[in-house]
Every structure is written in structure tokens, then in C-alpha cells.
Amino acid sequence: MSEPTIKPKPLSRINLNDFDPDFHGNDDKQDVVAATDRLQEKMQALQNRLYAESKQSLLIVLQAMDTGGKDGAIRKVFEGVNPAGVYVKPFKAPTPDELAHDFLWRIHPHVPGKGYIGVFNRSHYEDVLVVRVNNLVPKEVWKRRYDHINNFERTLVDANVRILKFYLHISKAEQKKRLQERLDTPEKNWKFSPGDLPVREQWDAYMDAYAELLERCNTDYARWHIVPANCKWYRDWVITKAIVDTLEDMNPQYPPPAPGLDAIVIPD
């Protein structure tokens, strides 16, 4: 399969116009879907070993504009994976209690423990996105948060949490198409929110905010992947491949058997 340059160099300048959201390498859809299915079989085996080993964990962060495909990617990428060892945490608008604490207070309890894969559907990065675009806190406050985030992620890595971060990059035209589909398809009406339209009007401001977080928080220990996401089947392959590659690098192992198992006889 053809793979785009999805991992910019750490702390390098980012211009999202340099990344084509339509990219799919001219690969045949059926071939890519079949390759994704094969990767999912590998992921299932690796996740089983990770869960059994219980020494390290994997945190997956998904960020995107509205209709960017976070939910769809989660459904497809983790299809068939043992749900006992994987969980998804969506982060919505903070509660009054969460707002009464530092912005990372609500995040840390949901970091996956040893043996688990945790998926953040939105994340701590909302506090340098929504907060910035809507002027919810002063600039000097959200500017400091890039360093706070980097230090937080460094702490997790030091605790044997591997971090994979994906920005699902769609075009503004593709977003319009997907929003219209939600209006036109009765079973998708529930997904449409009138509140999506004011956010769409802030598209350029969000692109600037994403570009800066991709620059400031793309470290050598917690890299961002910029995923071309207009083409859903290609998006799923890119994410699945990155997860499998990471799990293979983590190389979890089944724990050794308890001593004396060979002498045990199961009674009738």
C-alpha cells in the first residue's frame, strides 16, 4: 500500500495545506480493505498478548473537525478486538466540577492502565482548540498549555504508556458533504447538530489552532500522525497499520506459566 508522509518531524513547522486530505495512493479500495482486515487479525493477537502481559499500555488520541470520522474509525479499526482490553473515552464539554480544576485533571484518570489500549475520542487537546478559538481563557493561559501537555505526555511515556496521536484531516468541502448527508438520511438525522454550523464558520481559525498544536506538541516520544481522511477506507488502513506497527515494536509477551502446571491433572 502507498503511505503518505503522515509523521512530520518533531517540533517542525506545519502547514496543513501541504497535506492532501484526498490522498489514497491510487490504491484499489478492495486491496486496501483486504490489507486492513489482515492487519486487524495481527492487532487482535498483539492486543491479547498486551492484555496478558500487563506491563505496558497504549493510548490512542483521535482529533478531528466535526464529521472528521473519529467514531467511524473507532468502529472499523477495533472491529473484532477483545473489548475486555480496549476502552473508548469520549471527551465532551467539561462539567462545572472539571472546570474547577486544572485542564488535565479530567484526563489523567482515563489513561489506560497496564495491559490496556485506551482510545480518546477528543482529548486534552480540546483545551488548545475550542478554548483558543472561542476565547474561553486568555491567550497567555492556553499558550502555556502546550508545555503542560508535553510534560504530561512525557510522564505517561515514562510510566510505560505508549502514545499514538492521529489528526484526521478532512477538507472543508468533504465536511459539507457529510453534514448534508446527515440532513438527507433519516437514520443519520440524530447526528446533525445546528451547533456544527457556527463551528464550520470558524474553519480557518481551527486550522490555525490545529497547525500550532501539531507543531508544538509533536515530540519524539509522542508523535502526531496526520491522516488523509476524506477517503474512509484509506483512513482506516493508515490508522490500523500505525497501531499494529506500534504494538509490534512494544512486543508484548505472554507471561511464563505458573510452576508445576505439567503435573496438574484435571479431575473427572
* pLDDT tens, the chain, 268 aa long: 655 546 676 767 888 999 999 999 878 999 999 999 999 999 999 999 999 999 999 999 999 999 999 999 999 999 989 999 999 999 999 999 999 999 999 999 999 999 999 999 999 999 999 999 999 999 999 999 999 999 999 999 999 999 999 999 999 999 999 999 999 999 999 989 888 899 999 999 999 999 999 999 999 999 999 999 999 999 999 999 999 999 999 999 999 988 888 889 999 8
User: What pLDDT, on the 0 to 100 scale, is given for residue 99?
Assistant: 96
Give the C-alpha separation, 219 to 121, whole Å. Answer: 20
Give the C-alpha separation, 132 to 146, whole Å. Answer: 12
User: What pLDDT, on the 0 to 100 scale, is given for residue 210?
Assistant: 97
What are the residues facing 166 on neighbouring strands? 62, 225
Cα–Cα nearest to 220, from 117, 150, 152, 147: 150
Cα–Cα nearest to 229, from 62, 86, 90, 37: 62
Domain boundaries of the chain, sorted by first residue: 16-251
For the chain, the distance separating the N- and C-terminal CA atoms, rounded to the nearest angstrom, is: 53
Q: The C-alpha cell of 136 is what?
A: 474561553
User: What pLDDT, on the 0 to 100 scale, is given for residue 32?
Assistant: 95
User: What pLDDT, on the 0 to 100 scale, is given for residue 7?
Assistant: 66
The model's pTM is 0.94
Residue 218: CB atoms within 10 Å: 22
User: What pLDDT, on the 0 to 100 scale, is given for residue 11?
Assistant: 61
* Assigned fold of 16-251: Rossmann fold (3.40.50)
